[in-house]
Amino acid sequence: MHFIATYEAYLFLASFLVSLLNIHILWWKNHEKNLIWLLLAMVSIAVYNFFAVLDAASAELSSRIFWSKLIYFGAVNITPFLLLFFINYPHKRVQLNWKIIFGILIVPAASIAAVMTNDFHHLFWTGFVPISGTINGYIFQHGPFYWIAVGYAYLCGIAAILLIYEDMRRFSGIYRSQSLWLLISAAFPLVFSLIYDFRLNPIPGMDILPIGFSFSGLGLVFSVVFLRMFDLVPVSRNLLVENLQDGVVIIDNQSRVVDMNPAARKLFNRGGIKIGDDIEKFEDRYLSALRNQTEQTEVIIQGAGVSHLLFIPSQLLNETGNKAGIMFIIRDMTEIRLVEQALHQSQQRYQSLIEDVLDISTVGICILDKDFNLVWVNQAGAIEWLGNREKLLNQDIRKILLQDFSSDLIENGERLIGEILMSYHSHYFMDDVEIHFRNQDTLVDRWLLYSSRPITVGFFTGGRIEQFIDITEQKLLQNKIELLAITDELTGIYNRRGLMEFSRHDFNRARRTNTQLGVIYFDIDYFKEMNDKYGHIQGDAVLSETIRQVGSCLRDMDTFARYGGDEFVILVPDADLRQSVEIAQRIQKVVSSAPIRIGEDLITVNLSLGIAQIRPQDSLTSLLNRADQAMYRAKQAGRGRLEVCD
């Protein structure tokens, strides 16, 4: 084979190097994320480009045909691999199995077989026409098998784009912008393919699609790995939604089901509810409970067995405080209701039912007689909430509530205990009342979901059944997710969202009370060079240690946040310009006088700082911008210094 240097070959070589960069990044990150399908797509792009280099540099037609055949080992697999990746990214849609994978990859395999045997049937390429004025240019005339392969590639690419578009419609805020970035990156090669297949190519005979795929892959890898797109979504679902035993259903403002967890799918298996359904069209009684978005609803499902489902609605708010949808917690109350029913039917079965069923339940349950004396309490109720079982029996529950439940440890304690006592005397139900306990000594929080129902025998009330469900873990998980949303993962200080949320309070207070408010805006000088020299892991260590040093100089009332990259913002309430400058000077001195060791090197970190003070005409954004401009002047003036905004 004879090769010649052509500018097309150099273009494909550059594109091949870009695809190798994508593979290197994904291989480096593959232990952190399930990126195997994206990695395979990048490998296919590299194969496509590699053989395109050899094809473009071949001087004879026979060589070009040979390398063009090998090109299809990469070309036909790219969009199917991308489709397999986006099926479960950024969230899991289906469980991939060998049947699905085989069904998606069978056409690419058949296309490879067709192109490799083209000499026998000429159904992939029908002929090759030389291009006048070129050294080795040929137009490959396409047969029906080629258009089948191209059509299937388009189909997979469009399917992947539609999956991204579906997420873009469902998400809001930054997640919608991230989905749009993915959409543009995924659609980029589609444009190149249309240009080539419809012969609108500005370079006749040159297949520009490998270049399009390489730079599209670069955009996808950058989005997934470096922008850390959708990281919060999987965290929140795994911690708070996916592993809950209770069903969770999310309804948007258009009354559509936009998400549900596995427990909800299991509870609704008889109704066939799915994401995208309009709840206004549900006719089943238990599904129509999703339309009651203000009150808890319990429904009874008749079928092979009787099931009780409790629907608990909770309003979801967006970043601006407006309603973004409704979250329903669906709790299977069947076991508890069956116990109640059995108790209603026969008081003689109390002891056996308690010993066989209730005593092993994690739900705290106690039984009261008609005089409100405690006749039985299970292990969960005694140990977790009320105390020693033997001492509790035959005691008046009203005295226990008034004496042993310290009302000052309960949020709105007096009102809640009053309502419980009133329900006893009025013989009415109390369903799922949330009680918040706060230990004043240990500052430990606990949450209890309390229910109380009268036990009726015929027309007479024979006592009450009390239920205590510990929801502390769910509450703590919810609080943890809320904290993760406003905290920078690396440094532990606020992120940009947390800054805007908490600084707005300080800013409004300063405007309202006409008090001082300073802003210190800084970044780490030559931080990029440190990253390049020592690597990102050591760079992160320098960043974390620097932030620790800066934090030691701040007051408890100051707000410290990572604004982005190596840029940080400090809000200094109740401080005039002189005090803000003193704090900034102290920060600069502490950081520069405490070198950080990286391996055998001691690195002296210097900061460029900008300081601004609130003005009557300022908005929060303009105040931050003025501090940013002052920091920029400090960097222009030689770095390692501070500047004050005039």
Q: How far apart are CA 154 and CA 160, in angstroms?
A: 10
pLDDT band per the 50, 70, 90 thresholds, residue 316: confident
Residue reference for tokens 């919608």: 176
231 pLDDT higher than 60: no
- What pLDDT band is residue 609 in, cutting at 50, 70 and 90? very high
366-476 CATH: 3.30.450.20
Q: Specify whether the CB–CB gap between 125 and 143 falls below 8 A.
A: yes
Rounded mean pLDDT of 267-293? 69
Superfamily of domain 235-332: PAS domain (3.30.450.20)
pLDDT band (50, 70, 90) for residue 405: low
Cα–Cα distance measured from residue 147 to residue 386, given in angstroms and rounded to the nearest whole number: 75
Contact 163, 84 (CB under 8 A): no
CA distance 374 to 385: 14
Please tell me which of 155-159, 223-227, 287-291, 479-483 the model is most confident about, judged by mean pLDDT: 155-159
- Judge whether residue 139 has pLDDT over 80: no
Provide the mean pLDDT of the chain.
Answer: 77
Average pLDDT over residues 542-561: 90
Taking residues 572-591, report their average pLDDT. 91
Q: Which residue has the higher pLDDT, 30 or 327?
A: 327
| Contact indicator for 577, 611 with CB cutoff of 8 Å | yes
Torsion of CA 570, 574, 579, 584, to 10 degrees: 0
Predicted confidence (pLDDT) at residue 237 exceeds the cutoff of 60? no
Beta-bridge partners for 332:
309
The average pLDDT across 336-362 equals 64
Per-residue pLDDT reduced to its tens digit, 50-105: 888 888 788 788 888 888 889 889 888 888 888 888 787 766 778 888 898 999 99
pLDDT at residue 214 tops 80: no
| Residue 371 or 579, more confident | 579
Residue 72's contacts (CB-CB under 8 Å, 6 or more residues apart) are: 111, 112, 115, 149
Q: Which of 85-94, 589-598, 602-611 has the lowest mean pLDDT?
A: 85-94
Q: Mean pLDDT lowest for which of 255-259, 557-561, 603-607, 614-618?
A: 255-259
Q: Which helix (H) or strand (E) holds 244?
A: none
pLDDT at 589 (0 to 100): 92
Confidence band for 469, pLDDT divided at 50, 70 and 90: confident
Average pLDDT over residues 401-408: 56
What radius of gyration, in Å, describes the C-alpha atoms of the chain?
A: 33
For the cut 80, the answer to whether the pLDDT of residue 284 exceeds it is: no
Q: What is the rounded distance in angstroms from the CA atom of residue 372 to the CA atom of residue 471? A: 26
Taking the CA of residue 363 as centre, how many other CA atoms within 13 Å lie in the half-sphere pointing to its CB? 21
Q: What tokens appear for 52 in the block? A: 């395109």
Q: Region 23-50: what's the mean pLDDT? A: 76
Tell me the backbone φ, ψ of residue 439, rounded to 5 degrees.
-75, 120
Residue with structure tokens 């707000």?
Answer: 559
319, pLDDT greater than 70: no
Is the preceding omega at residue 262 within 30 degrees of 0, hence cis?
Answer: no
How would residue 110 be classed by pLDDT, with cut points 50, 70 and 90? very high
What confidence tens digit (pLDDT) does each residue in 441-453 have?
Answer: 656 677 778 888 8
In 529-566, DSSP assigns E strands to 559-564
- The better pLDDT of the pair 1, 617 is held by 617
Asked whether the domain spanning 366-476 has the same topology as the one spanning 235-332, the reply is yes
Mean pLDDT of 197-226: 65
pLDDT of residue 581: 92
Sort 2 into a burial class: Cβ within 10 Å, 0-12 / 13-18 / 19+.
exposed
Q: What is the DSSP string of 330-383?
A: EEE-HHHHHHHHHHHH-GGGHHHHHHHTGGG-SSEEEEE-TT-BEEEE-HHHII
Is the pLDDT at 232 greater than 50? The verdict is no
Q: Which range, 30-34, 185-189, 380-384, 422-426, is most confident? A: 422-426
pLDDT at 242 over 80: no
Write down the pLDDT at residue 584. 92
Structure tokens at 275: 């994401």
Instruction: Indicate the domain borders of the chain.
Output: 7-230, 235-332, 366-476, 487-644
pTM for this entry: 0.39
Of 259-263, 375-379, 577-581, which gets the smallest average pLDDT?
A: 375-379
What mean pLDDT do residues 434-462 have?
72
Pick the CATH number of 487-644 from 3.30.70.270, 3.30.70.1520, 3.40.50.150, 3.40.50.620: 3.30.70.270
- Is the pLDDT reported for residue 625 higher than 90? yes
Distances (CA, A) of 520 to 547, 593, 613: 14, 20, 9
Asked if residues 549 and 613 have their Cβ atoms less than 8 Å apart, the reply is no
pLDDT at 16: 84
pLDDT above 90 coverage of the chain, percent: 12
Q: Which residue is listed with tokens 């013989």?
A: 427
Choice among 273-282, 596-605, 621-630 with the minimum mean pLDDT = 273-282
What's the CATH superfamily of 7-230?
Rhodopsin 7-helix transmembrane proteins (1.20.1070.10)
